[in-house]
Amino acid sequence: MATDKSESELREKKEKKDKKRKHEEVAVDGDDAAAVAKKEKKKKRKSEVVDVDDTIVTDAPVATSTAVVAVKDEEDEKKDLKMVIPVSALVPFANPLADEKQQKKVLKGVKRAAKHKSLKRGVKEVVKAIRKSPVSNPSLAPTTLPNGIVILAADISPMDVISHIPVLCEDHGIPYIFVPSRAELGAAGSTKRPTSVVMCTPGQGKGGKVEEKAEWEEGFGELHKVALKLGQHVLV
């Protein structure tokens, strides 16, 4: 009987130990599963952060590139735009009036004159320069260079501001040309504001470079040719 009791006690102890081991193994497995689940959650969070960063990085250059393209398109449109002055806005005595091709040559000559300090700007300055110039003989050969060439803007209002200048130019034998836009005339004369009239003089002004004197003499000669050509079609 004693041996049977001892055997039964040993069996019970073994069963208890086995139960404890199984319970511990189950607990360990549960902990491992929880740890694995936590790791997976962390990985998912990291992957989501990476995805967000990728979208930000990839979107940034696309946005900037589209902005640059838009700016370029706007600049191209500004370059393509041409200043159109309606005929009704021009003074009725705008004669001779340079056409588009002749206007480019005239404004190019004005730019050269501004560069070589040979440009008078504004009504007061131009009128003063014309009155100081000697009265030339109308029968003078057309190849002889005049004392100056006057360029007037035809879109001036009121017209009385410049209406006396053509008559004054004729009295002193100075050729004059009308261009459609005072804004373009001002820009060619290196001024920020529109200009109603400018006068190109054959001599180089103070501050001009001596080595560039021949260059301006050539430019003034070309401007004189344009003035002579336009003067042949003056309507009286």
pTM of the full structure = 0.61
**Average pLDDT, integer, range 72-91:** 57
In sequence order, what are the residues at sequence separation of 6 or more whose Cβ sits closer than 8 angstroms to the Cβ of residue 173? 135, 136, 137, 138, 140, 146, 147
CA 114 to chain centre: 23
Q: Residue 66: what pLDDT?
A: 37
pLDDT exceeding 90 applies to what percent of the chain? 37
pLDDT confidence band for 16 (50 / 70 / 90): confident
Number of helices (H), then strands (E), in the chain: 6, 4
Q: What is the pLDDT of residues 106-141, one digit of tens each?
A: 999 999 999 888 999 999 999 999 999 887 654 445
Q: Are strands 197-200 and 176-179 parallel, antiparallel or unpaired?
A: unpaired
